[in-house]
């Protein structure tokens, strides 16, 4: 469906920022309304993209291609805006016990986790994962905000339904946890610990320590540790303490202190897949770009490009 009027983007988190970038690239008129980042996932999301994840050390099919495409988009933005966003990382992940280690070692020896995990990266208590990277989400959001505020395209306000329905062009809700248009999407709270750490020569800045909880050096004597995902208060307290216990253990050889708890909410769907497209019955008028879950950095660039194509008609 051809929709040539200016696109209104509600929300400038990761989703809204990438959609605005794609529209700008395509020379399409757009405006953004954003309600601020008090609860936004992109303010606290670590932006890690990791080829081997979870308790089962799983590697998703097609990961390499998706990762390369996503990273290329962030690189384009880096070049166009003159900001540094992407950092390559190596992960040193510790086994919990031999029961966890044995099957992973066997898969590595059979080459099943190559090229990210190889025999030479196996240690007695840990294994190395190569090929991970991070996009600095707060830096991306701040740079986009400065750019589009200066261009008079971004207004700081909460878009109302009434304003949305009177907008002459298409409206795309990139509103994260404030979204209530799709009942299957549910908010999940998440916390990351911000730390001060003493730099150590034997802990290079591109190495993430990981024992189920990752500790990511973010530069200038700082690190992030996390993240926990919680549905209620009781769970939040327990998860935060578990996070702290892991940090105490992993940083036993490093001087450190906790400087903040960063909390946000992200949207997730029952099948963990994002929701991106026109709302039923509102085709060409109103759509959503949401439900990025814990894989926003990997998934959002391709979905934003799809949105730009959809809007081009
Ligand atoms: C603790 C934590 C750790 C995470 N770690 C990772 C990770 O390592 N890797 C990874 O890929 N992902 C991670 N994620 C997930 C990732 O951060 C999210 O998938 C992504 O940031 C979601 O972006 P979004 O734009 O959909 O939502 P948000 O970032 O929440 O942005 C929504 C924006 O919409 C605005 N808004 C809402 N309603 C309105 C309205 N009516 N009008 C105008 N504006 C409105 C809000 O103010 C906000 O700015 C993590 C998330 C959390 C919480």
Q: What is the pLDDT of residues 20-71, one digit of tens each?
A: 999 999 999 999 999 998 778 998 899 999 999 988 999 988 999 999 999 9
How far apart are the CA of 267 and the centre of ligand 1, in A?
8
Mean pLDDT of 186-202: 91
Q: Mean pLDDT in the chain?
A: 93
CATH topology of domain 1-47+136-185+270-313: FAD/NAD(P)-binding domain (3.50.50)
| pLDDT-derived band at 159, boundaries 50, 70, 90 | very high
How far apart are the CA of 41 and the centre of ligand 1, in A?
3
Cβ(227)–Cβ(237) under 8 Å?
no
Sequence-distant (≥ 6) Cβ neighbours of residue 250 within 8 angstroms: 94, 209, 211, 213, 215
Instruction: Tell me how many degrees the CA angle 229-235-239 measures, rounded to the nearest 5.
Output: 60
Residue-level pLDDT at 1: 40
**Is the pLDDT assigned to residue 235 strictly greater than 90?**
no
| pLDDT-derived band at 152, boundaries 50, 70, 90 | very high
Among 54, 87, 178, 300, the mutation site with the greatest number of ligand 1 atoms within 8 A of its Cβ is: 178
Backbone CA torsion sign across 210, 77, 168, 155? positive
Domain parsing of the chain, residue ranges: 1-47+136-185+270-313, 62-134, 187-268
Using CA atoms, how far apart are residues 297 and 73, in angstroms rounded to an integer?
Answer: 10
Q: Is 36 in the pocket of ligand 1 (CB under 6 A)?
A: yes
Structure tokens belonging to residue 84: 């540094």
Beta strands 7-10; 275-278: pairing state: unpaired
Q: Is 47 in the pocket of ligand 1 (CB under 6 A)?
A: yes
| pLDDT-derived band at 4, boundaries 50, 70, 90 | low
Mean pLDDT of 207-223: 94
Closest atom of ligand 1 to 292 CA is 19
Q: Which of 5-9, 54-58, 231-235 bottoms out in mean pLDDT, i.e. has the lowest?
A: 231-235
Q: Is 41 in the pocket of ligand 1 (CB under 6 A)?
A: yes
Strand partners, 260: 194
- Picking from 133, 134, 110, 132, the residue whose alpha carbon sits closest to that of residue 122 is 110
Q: Is 40 in the pocket of ligand 1 (CB under 6 A)?
A: yes
| pLDDT-derived band at 146, boundaries 50, 70, 90 | very high
Closest atom of ligand 1 to 229 CA is 1
**Is the pLDDT assigned to residue 77 strictly greater than 70?**
yes
Residue-level pLDDT at 22: 98
**Is 228 buried (19+), middle (13-18) or exposed (0-12) by CB count in 10 A?**
buried
Residue-level pLDDT at 278: 97
Sequence-distant (≥ 6) Cβ neighbours of residue 300 within 8 angstroms: 14, 15, 18, 70, 292
Among 10, 13, 52, 136, the mutation site with the greatest number of ligand 1 atoms within 8 A of its Cβ is: 13
Residue-level pLDDT at 2: 42
Q: Is 228 in the pocket of ligand 1 (CB under 6 A)?
A: no
**Is the pLDDT assigned to residue 3 strictly greater than 60?**
no
**Is the pLDDT assigned to residue 199 strictly greater than 80?**
yes
Give backbone dihedrals phi and psi of 140, rounded to 5 degrees, phi first.
-60, -45
Residue-level pLDDT at 227: 78
How far apart are the CA of 178 and the centre of ligand 1, in A?
10
SS (H, E, C) the chain: CCCCCCEEEECCCHHHHHHHHHHHHHCCCEEEEECCCCCCHHHHCCCEECCCECCCCECCCCHHHHHHHHHHHHHHHHHHHCCCCEEEEEEEEECCCHHHHHHHHHHHHCCCCCCCCCHHHECCCEEEEEEEEEECHHHHHHHHHHHHHHCCCEEECCCCHHHHHHCCCCEEECCHHHCCCCCCCEEEEEEEEEEEECCCCCCCCCEEEECCCEEEEEECCEEEEEEEEECCHHHHHHHHHHHHHHHHHHCCCCCEEEEEEEEEEEEECCCCCCEEEECCCCCCCEEEEECCHHHHHHHHHHHHHHHHHHHHC
Residue nearest atom 30 in ligand 1 by C-alpha distance: 40
pLDDT in tens, 107-137: 999 999 999 999 999 999 999 999 999 999 9
Strand partners, 92: 128, 209
């Amino acid at each position: 469906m051809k929709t040539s009027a200016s696109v209104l983007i509600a929300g400038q988190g990761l989703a809204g920022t990438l959609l605005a970038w794609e529209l700008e690239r395509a020379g399409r008129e757009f405006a953004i309304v954003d309600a601020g980042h008090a609860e936004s996932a992109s303010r606290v999301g670590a932006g890690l993209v990791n080829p081997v994840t979870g308790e089962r050390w799983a590697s998703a099919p097609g990961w390499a291609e998706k990762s390369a495409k996503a990273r290329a988009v962030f690189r384009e933005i880096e070049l166009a805006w003159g900001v540094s966003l992407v950092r390559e990382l190596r992960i040193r992940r510790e086994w919990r016990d031999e029961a966890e280690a044995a099957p992973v070692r066997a898969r590595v020896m059979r080459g099943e986790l190559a090229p990210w995990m190889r025999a030479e990266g196996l240690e007695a208590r840990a294994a190395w994962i190569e090929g991970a990277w991070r996009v600095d989400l707060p830096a991306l959001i701040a740079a986009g905000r400065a750019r589009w505020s200066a261009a008079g395209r971004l207004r700081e306000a909460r878009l109302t339904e009434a304003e949305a329905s009177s907008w002459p062009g298409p409206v795309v809700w990139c509103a994260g946890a404030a979204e209530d248009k799709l009942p299957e999407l549910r908010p999940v709270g998440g916390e990351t610990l911000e730390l001060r750490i003493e730099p150590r020569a034997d802990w290079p800045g591109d190495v993430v320590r990981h024992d189920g909880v990752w500790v990511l050096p973010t530069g200038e004597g700082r690190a992030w540790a996390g993240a926990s995902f919680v549905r209620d208060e009781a769970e939040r307290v327990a998860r935060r303490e578990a996070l702290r216990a892991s940090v105490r253990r992993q940083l036993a050889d490093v001087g450190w202190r906790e400087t903040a708890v960063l909390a946000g909410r992200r949207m997730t769907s029952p099948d963990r897949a994002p929701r991106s497209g026109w709302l039923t019955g509102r085709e060409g008028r109103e759509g959503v770009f949401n439900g990025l879950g814990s894989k926003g950095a990997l998934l959002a660039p391709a979905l934003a490009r799809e949105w730009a194509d959809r809007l081009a008609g």
